[in-house]
């Protein structure tokens, strides 16, 4: 037994990780305080589709620390949780069984919001990037951080894929909607739609749109009840046989977050050799 594991109580129900299938849940933690953060980790620990989790909007204070600690208590023995140099939200990646190897992304703006790891699924190396794009921000700095971060991601994305011949998955709360989003919101500018397109321009596929071409799909709702598809997963579709991509609204209904979780399942396809 790993000596570190003995420090934590075993989860109530042990869920075995899939051996050749990526089972991923993306979840916005909504800067939870410690008590809610522990309930979030307990909920994730009960999900059979959550071998690997990407958590966005994780606070830098006690709530964020409680969430990271609680993930270990609920079976996530591998956690990559970069700390910000200044108080800010961050993105956390955790895995039940596959060790996580942090890799550089070249994203030089708010890098703690964009960690990347390599892990092995079915004996093959897979690259996973988690993203939490800043919101539009206060009036004094309207969109400045959002633009800077999006531009840094767009610049770095080709390098994240280049020279890596395994599957790549990019997932998180992008705080943008897709072109043609239903309903249409005039507040989003062309530069925000261009950010969405930057993923497909590099050869990644929108996982939700692949399986649900005509369903609007909303992951966050405003005070007036209007829905937004803010949470996304993009992947190299030719190297992953996608079987599921759904929004799971239980966290919203249970008061764990104001976002739905996003559950993705995909079989890691054998490497296709060029003739």
**What pLDDT is attached to residue 12?**
45
> Is residue 15 included in any domain, yes or no?
no
**What pLDDT is attached to residue 143?**
87
> Is residue 43 included in any domain, yes or no?
yes
CATH number at residue 240: 3.60.10.10
Domain that holds residue 42: 22-268
Q: How many domains does the chain have?
A: 1
3-state secondary structure the chain: CCCCHHHCCCCCCCCCCCCCEEEEEEEECCCCCHHHHHHHHHHHHCCCCCCEEEEEEECCCHHHHHHHHHHHHCCCCEEECCCCCCCCCEEEEEECCCCCEECCCCCCCCHHHCCEEEEEECCEEEEEEEEECCCCCCHHHCCHHHHHHHHHHHHHHHHHHCCCCCCEEEEEECCCCCCCCCCCCCCCCHHHHHHHHHHHHCCCEEHHHHHCCCCCCCCEECCCCCEECCEEEEECHHHEEEEEEEEECHHHHCCCCCECEEEEEEEECCCCCCC
> Is residue 253 included in any domain, yes or no?
yes
Each of the 275 residues of the chain gets a pLDDT tens digit; together they read 333 333 334 444 567 666 789 999 999 999 999 999 999 999 999 999 999 999 999 999 999 999 999 999 999 999 999 999 889 999 999 999 999 999 999 999 999 999 999 999 988 999 999 999 999 877 677 789 999 999 999 999 999 999 898 999 999 999 999 999 999 999 999 999 999 999 999 999 999 999 999 999 999 998 888 999 999 999 998 889 999 999 999 999 999 999 999 999 999 976 654 44
**What pLDDT is attached to residue 142?**
76
> Is residue 27 included in any domain, yes or no?
yes
> Is residue 28 included in any domain, yes or no?
yes
**What pLDDT is attached to residue 1?**
37
> Is residue 55 included in any domain, yes or no?
yes
């Amino acid at each position: 037994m790993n000596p570190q594991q003995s420090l934590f109580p075993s989860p109530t129900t042990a869920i075995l990780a899939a051996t050749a299938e990526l089972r991923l849940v993306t979840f916005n933690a909504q800067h939870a305080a410690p008590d809610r953060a522990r309930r979030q980790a307990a909920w994730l620990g009960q999900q059979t589709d959550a071998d690997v989790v990407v958590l966005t909007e994780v606070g830098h204070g006690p709530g964020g620390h409680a969430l990271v600690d609680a993930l270990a208590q609920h079976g996530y023995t591998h956690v990559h949780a970069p700390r910000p140099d200044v108080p800010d939200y961050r993105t956390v990646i955790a895995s039940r069984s596959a060790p996580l190897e942090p890799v550089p992304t070249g994203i030089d703006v708010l890098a703690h919001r964009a960690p990347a790891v390599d892990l092995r699924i079915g004996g093959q190396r897979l690259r996973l990037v988690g993203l939490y794009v800043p919101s539009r921000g206060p009036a004094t700095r309207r969109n400045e951080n959002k633009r800077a971060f999006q531009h840094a991601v767009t610049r770095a994305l080709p390098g994240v894929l280049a020279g890596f011949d395994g599957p790549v998955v990019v997932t998180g709360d992008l705080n943008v909607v897709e072109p043609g989003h239903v309903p249409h919101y005039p507040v989003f500018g062309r530069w925000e739609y261009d950010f969405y397109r930057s993923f497909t321009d590099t050869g990644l596929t929108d996982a939700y749109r692949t399986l649900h071409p005509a369903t609007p799909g909303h992951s966050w709702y405003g005070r007036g009840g209007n829905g937004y598809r803010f949470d996304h997963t993009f992947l190299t579709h030719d190297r992953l046989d996608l079987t599921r991509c759904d929004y799971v609204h239980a966290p919203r209904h249970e008061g764990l977050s104001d976002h739905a979780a996003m559950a993705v399942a995909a079989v890691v396809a054998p490497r296709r050799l060029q003739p």
